[in-house]
Structure 1
């Protein structure tokens, strides 16, 4: 069984894999279009005018680009634990309203560790391919909940199997036939072995939806994505309730 990479070890693997990452994901049919679809599903008004959005686990900035295309008037802060991935993100042309911060998702859980430029509150949080990589996803979800304004929205875009035997079989076949061979060619086999295992070891889509509810979110929805990723990749939408027990109206 493949050992999952965590924390500094995983960040280092992404640092090494950053140089080939964009080329590899470009081979995935619908990768960028699906990110834009999930960004649209946030349903934010007026192309994001006056809104602040956190792109948590932004990597090389593919998710940031999706947010900018859908919400060109928003201020977007991209945060990632891998400096190598952030170097790629910063090297790309971005509007003035976009900034990047080197920090882990876990840094969100303690105010003194979070850089001021990434401090909340946020009107929305977008997290692509993140939560299955975390040691303690529940603690980070609760931190995201606190970072959002009351009524703020969360969209999680991730490989999260639907629960059918077919979903697992398709994911296994894609990894065996495409992902692992490409990862070996680029010298990043351990990272892509982690990718395969991180998906099968993590929640199914219904289980992750329940995890969101336990973290305090409401209006939780699970939406599929088209093509070969149906049943494998989902958009999870959730909201911090506008009024909460003990809170002010």
Structure 2
């Protein structure tokens, strides 16, 4: 797979995740704070009443780490996890989940065709938006799936606004992520894509603007702790629309 200046061709990303699926949980488990930061982003959604009576969508759920984070924040909600990579989704489905959690194999671009329809009371998208071919269109589609007043949260890398964060990202990728990924999977394409896709993605200010342009209101972001301060952020936004939009 050819990794260009912005990473892999977006149509090739699911296949790259298929290749890395078996080792994915081991790799992210070695990242200090990975799971805690996902839980922090899910908590920042402020899902009411532990999710009782609510439906949540986990877009790009991968092996289920983000789904688990949502489940901690909203243990009584119905959670639908979707992903385009069959191998990543197989890893997720192999884990133990309550009956309120289920998974659907589909790219985010084909949600309706896969039978995934709103309204949802919250949408969580972890490490997804920079991997989409048309993020603006998909953000508008995701907003339309939300109930009025419901929250969209993107847990995402964004380093372009900070020289320090960019330098940290380069260092971590080339000293840890790419070598470890290559060793465990025998292929560096996915992890070189990760490096490139992050460095070419929106800065935090531009992504907040992108969310506002997609029709969200109350757009703001908060960063993480530890080495991921300024590197990973929770972007939060509200759907102000009507039920009949």
Q: What are the ranges of 5 or more consecutive residues in structure 2 without an aligned counterpart?
A: none
The one of 73, 81, 88 aligned to 1:85: 88
Alignment of 1:181-196 (within 5 A): 181-186=179-184, 187-196=186-195
After superposition, what is the alpha-carbon deviation per residue over 1:28-62, rounded to whole angstroms, capped at 9, x for unaligned?
A: 00000000000000001110000000000000000
After superposition, what is the alpha-carbon deviation per residue over 1:50-100, rounded to whole angstroms, capped at 9, x for unaligned?
A: 000000000000000001111100000000000000000000000110000
Q: What are the ranges of 5 or more consecutive residues in structure 1 without an aligned counterpart?
A: none
Deviation at residue 242 of structure 1 after TM alignment: 4.9
Which structure 1 residue ranges, 4+ long, deviate > 3 Å from structure 2?
Answer: none
Secondary structure at the aligned position of 1:24 is classed as helix
Paired residues of 2:160 and 2:202 also in contact (CA < 8 A): no
Paired residues of 1:222 and 1:234 also in contact (CA < 8 A): yes
Alignment of 1:21-60 (within 5 A): 21-60=24-63
Cα separation, 2, equivalents of 1:188 and 1:71: 36
Alignment of 1:131-210 (within 5 A): 131-161=129-159, 163-186=161-184, 187-210=186-209
Give the corresponding residue for 1:65.
Answer: 68
Aligned residues: 241
Cα separation, 2, equivalents of 1:203 and 1:164: 11
Deviation at residue 7 of structure 1 after TM alignment: 3.9
Paired residues of 1:128 and 1:156 also in contact (CA < 8 A): yes
Paired residues of 1:59 and 1:80 also in contact (CA < 8 A): yes
Paired residues of 1:162 and 1:206 also in contact (CA < 8 A): no
Which is worse superposed, 1-10 or 196-205? 1-10
TM-score normalised over the length of structure 2? 0.95
Cα separation, 1, equivalents of 2:17 and 2:27: 13
Deviation at residue 162 of structure 1 after TM alignment: 5.7
- Say yes or no: does 1:238 pair with 2:240: no
